[in-house]
Amino acid sequence: MSAVSDAVPGTAPVGSGGISQSIRDSLVVAKRNLIRMSRIPEMVIFGLIQPVMFVILFTYVFGGSMKIGNTTDPQVYKNFLMAGIFAQTVTFATAGAGAGIADDMHKGLIDRFRSLPMARGAVLTGRTIADLVQTALTLAVLAAVALLVGWRLGSFQPTNIGKILGAFGLLLLLGYAFTWVGALIGLSVRTPEAATSGGLIWLFPVTFISNAFVDSSQMTPWLRHIADWNPFSATVQACRKLFGDPGVSMSQAWPMQHPVWASLIYSILIIVIFRTLAVRKYRNATA
């Protein structure tokens, strides 16, 4: 009997499995998404405009009126603000990631991937890697704009370049972690519009109940505790420390005392938890 007649109708081919195949398949999917982004330049352009607007608006509208420590000096606020803007930018990419996955599900593209002998988790991993590349590009442009409006690195010395790169690495790690949250949301809704809304609803309290834009010591005590233990706040504080502008946090909360370690632990935990949930959701959705 021929190999064709032996095949079971309606079943998808199964790949050889293993980590190597998963990596190859993830990179192929990531390349596909990057090519798609390059062919739709407005996606990248609009993704750059929003964070640039945040930098300009917060710097010139709120600068000089926000009290940081015991001063309202606009330059102090600029240096305080930028780490928060960077962190907000990488986390807001979550909404786009969720919408993209929801769009692929809605158009049936996921069913096409399912018919191929590829690792199941590679579809989501490749998508999140592509989103990480776009986030890195946005972050580079945003840093240049921040320097133009007056942001200054307190630790900008050749010996401290590693710390500065480490700060941007923590930002990208946080953005990648939150992208998996977006992936889970995108798999849980029916339309891209719902994924966008669902991806933003929870992001606003996470980013604003934090030390990103204001000194958390000026918050109501119960709200300050939430802000100090917020994973978002840990990354913001870590970046300020590595940039040479530790901020004014006098909190005794562990994440504020050890922000670099807290940022790493939070981000890794988010990736492990939400990647597991997202891949499981994907397998159930395509079963």
The predicted model gives 250-279 an average pLDDT of 93
Residues with Cβ within 8 Å of 162's Cβ and at least 6 positions away in sequence, in order, are none
Asked if residue 241 lies in contact with residue 219, where contact means CB atoms within 8 angstroms, the answer is no
The predicted model gives 148-154 an average pLDDT of 81
- Would you state the pLDDT for residue 3? 42
- Would you state the pLDDT for residue 271? 96
Domain boundaries, the chain: 18-285
Asked if residue 124 lies in contact with residue 183, where contact means CB atoms within 8 angstroms, the answer is yes
Listed range (60-64, 170-174, 178-182) with the worst mean pLDDT? 60-64
The predicted model gives 210-232 an average pLDDT of 90
- Phi and psi at 34, nearest 5°, equal -65, -40
pLDDT at 272 over 90: yes
Distance CA 117, CA 15 (A): 4
Residue with tokens 């401290």: 160
The predicted model gives 249-258 an average pLDDT of 86
Residues with Cβ within 8 Å of 249's Cβ and at least 6 positions away in sequence, in order, are 211, 215, 216, 217, 228, 237, 256
pLDDT digits (tens, 9 = 90+) for 93-127: 888 788 888 887 777 777 677 677 777 778 888 88
pLDDT digits (tens, 9 = 90+) for 13-52: 444 556 888 888 888 888 888 887 777 777 777 777 888 8
Q: Is 18 left (phi over 0), alpha (psi -120 to 50) or beta?
A: left
Contacts by 21-26 with C-beta closer than 8 Å and gap 24+? 21/118, 21/119, 22/119, 22/121, 22/122, 22/125, 25/118, 25/119, 25/122, 25/126, 26/119, 26/121, 26/122, 26/125, 26/126, 26/129
Q: Give residue 256's pLDDT band: very low, low, confident or very high (50, 70, 90).
A: very high
Helix axes of 161-188 and 259-285: crossing angle, nearest 10 degrees: 30
Q: Tell me the torsion sign for CA atoms 115, 121, 127, 133.
A: negative
Q: Give residue 4's pLDDT band: very low, low, confident or very high (50, 70, 90).
A: very low
